[in-house]
Amino acid sequence: MREKKFTLAHHKTEVVMISNRKVVQQLKITVGEHIVNSKREVKHLGVMIDDRLSFNGHVDYVCEKAARSIKALIRITPNNSVINSSKKRLLASVTTSIMRYGGSAWASALKTKRNQKCPRG
C-alpha cells in the first residue's frame, strides 16, 4: 500500500479471524504505528460477519433493527383502534426490506432452528 501511496485509517480498521477451529484465535496486525486486535464479529456494509461465518449475530441484529423500525413507525402513524391495510403494507414492506438486505451473503444462517424465528423482545 505504501508503494501505491495508500493509507489506512487505523481508527476504522477492524479484523476478524475466520476459522472453523474450536479455539478462538486472536490476531494482532499493525496498521502504520497502531496495533489492531481481531474481534469475534465485525459489521461490513450492514452485514454482521462473525469468526465462524454462522451469521447468528447478524440474524439477531436484523431482528432487533426490524423491531425498532416497526415501533418507530407505529408511533408516528395515526393511532386507530383498527389497523388499516395501508398501514399493514407499510410495516410489512419496511420489515421485509430490513430483513432481506444482504440475504445472499447470510441466507445459509436460516437453516438452523435458532435463526428461523426472530426472538421476541
- Give the mean pLDDT of the chain: 84
Residue 120, pLDDT score: 53
Residue 29, pLDDT score: 87
Residue 82, pLDDT score: 58
Residue spans of the domains in the chain: they are: 1-39, 53-115
pLDDT higher than threshold 70 for residue 66: yes
Query: What angle in degrees, to the nearest 10, is found between the helix axes of 56-76 and 85-100?
Result: 150
* Helix spans in the chain (H): 56-76, 85-100, 103-106
Residue whose grid cell is 445472499: 104
pLDDT band (50, 70, 90) for residue 33: confident
Contact yes or no for 49/16 (Cβ under 8 A): yes
pLDDT higher than threshold 80 for residue 85: no
Strand pairing partners for 41?
50
Residue 39, pLDDT score: 92
Residue 92, phi then psi, degrees to nearest 5: -65, -40
Instruction: Give the pLDDT confidence of 37-62 residue by residue, as tens digits.
Output: 999 999 999 999 999 888 989 999 99
pLDDT higher than threshold 80 for residue 13: yes
CA atoms within 13 A on the CB side of 21: 7
